[in-house]
Amino acid sequence: MAFIAETSNHDEGQFLKILENLAHDQQLTDDVTERVVRSVPDYGHVPHHDLVQSVVRNRALAIRTLRNGVAPRADEIWEAEHATRQRLEQNVQIEDIMRGFREVLKELQRRVIEDTQRAELRPEIALQASTLLWDLGDSFSTRISRVYRDIRIEHEVTRYREREARIHRLLSGKISAEEIAIEREEHGIREPVRAIVTGVLPHPTMFDLPDSMVFSDGRAVGYADTASKLPAELEYSEGPPVTLEELHDSHEVALQLQTAAEFVGLHGKHTLATVSWRIAVPHFPQLNSYLHARYIQPVKEFGEFGDAILSSVAAYLSNDLKAKPAAECIPIHENTLRYRLKKFETITHMSFDRYTHIMEVSWAIAALGETSQVHHTE
């Protein structure tokens, strides 16, 4: 018994005998079990067999501590983790789990004091045994708190992953009516909602996004109600407003919008109204190639001057065929802009007076995307 200084061999032998008797005392098990149920009402719902097994484990832990003469560290007490996980599953509160263990210690302490007095052992033995038991109680409580924290983290992670999977199913349209009801009720969804697809985000992201959005392939996808405001700096596309049942359709539109926006070099927030016909540009590579050969390549052959011409054409188209604002946004003199536009017409054999030519050139400029040196004004 390392915890008792100057203990005679007789006292040590007697004390170890007391511990051995306590370790196999069925009456002690029954008394402790009854005391726990009486003192901690939540334990009345715990199956009797589980409670008895827990009392036996905790009694063995306490007696082992008294034999060793030193309380174990919190991370050495596996019994605390086992009890905590089991009791939480049985809806016992963490405070009651701690109280339950201390009731075990109280009853064991009472028996140690009685038995050492009956054996006429030195009072210091019972005193130091009591101190050890309370040290054990502190270590046990510490481990319970750590396990509880870990369980809460595990629970939150599980909840996040479950909702993440549910949001993916919502977006894919492969979701049951029951799951939609859960999403609607648990999170107080205000409909209509619109699907959101962002551009590629930095990791870790600096944006504060709604919890109805999850990460997928470097982007955030999900939905938000029509009243929610997303960060102004965020590059994203949103589908039309719909119910949760229709979210898949809105998501498909948002995906196409974001694909088109990145393809043609648009920035900021994108909707059908802002992207308009450009949503189709990524999906017609053969048409893109034809229009590039028809309107872009002949001008590119003029080198830097050709790039300047295309920049002027892009500005002119972006400013509704108005020369003055187009020239200002480049910026160049208005006459210079008009000269470049005329040169473009000559090189490509087109006319800005013909609607078909305007549409084709607009498409060809859009298909250049961000890789071009064309100046865009939105």
Per residue in 215-256, pLDDT (tens digit) is 888 999 999 998 888 988 899 999 999 999 999 999 999 999
Residue 378 is predicted with a pLDDT of 42
Structure tokens at 335: 């006459």
Bridge partner residues of 195 (DSSP): 223
Mean pLDDT of 10-25: 90
Q: Long-range contacts for 197-202 (Cβ within 8 Å, ≥24 apart)?
A: 197/221, 197/236, 197/237, 197/238, 197/251, 197/254, 197/255, 197/257, 197/258, 198/234, 198/235, 198/236, 198/237, 198/258, 199/235, 199/236, 199/258, 199/261, 199/262
| Nearest CA-CA partner of 147 in 63, 85, 69 | 85
Residue 116 is predicted with a pLDDT of 93
Q: For the chain, give every domain's residue range.
A: 9-154, 192-278, 284-371
CA 178 to chain centre: 23
Structure tokens at 26: 């069925």
CB atoms within 10 A of CB 138: 11
Mean pLDDT of 128-142: 93
| Residues 173-187 pLDDT 10s | 999 999 999 999 888
Tell me if the domain spanning 9-154 has CATH number 2.20.28: no
Q: Is 49 exposed, middle or buried (0-12, 13-18, 19+ CB in 10 A)?
A: exposed
CB atoms within 10 A of CB 371: 7
- CA-to-CA separations, 237 to 169, 199, 200, 276, 376, in angstroms, rounded: 19, 8, 12, 12, 19
| Residues 320-341 pLDDT 10s | 999 999 999 999 999 999 999 9
| Residues 29-68 pLDDT 10s | 998 899 888 888 888 889 999 999 999 999 999 999 999 9
Distance CA 351, CA 333 (A): 22
Residue tagged 């944006």 (tokens): 207
Residue tagged 């830097």 (tokens): 304
| pTM (2 d.p.) | 0.66
Structure tokens at 242: 């719909």
| Residues 78-115 pLDDT 10s | 999 999 999 988 989 889 999 889 988 999 999 999 99
| Nearest CA-CA partner of 220 in 232, 241, 203, 244 | 203
Which residues, other chains included, contact 183 with Cβ-Cβ below 8 Å and sequence gap of 6+?
A: 163, 166, 167, 170, 189, 244
Which residues, other chains included, contact 238 with Cβ-Cβ below 8 Å and sequence gap of 6+?
A: 194, 195, 196, 197, 224, 250, 254, 257, 269, 270, 271
Residue 5 is predicted with a pLDDT of 47
Distance CA 354, CA 87 (A): 79
Pairing of strands 269-270, 236-238: parallel
Of the candidate CATH numbers 1.10.3720.10, 1.10.10.2840, 1.10.10.10, 3.90.245.10, the domain formed by 284-371 belongs to 1.10.10.2840
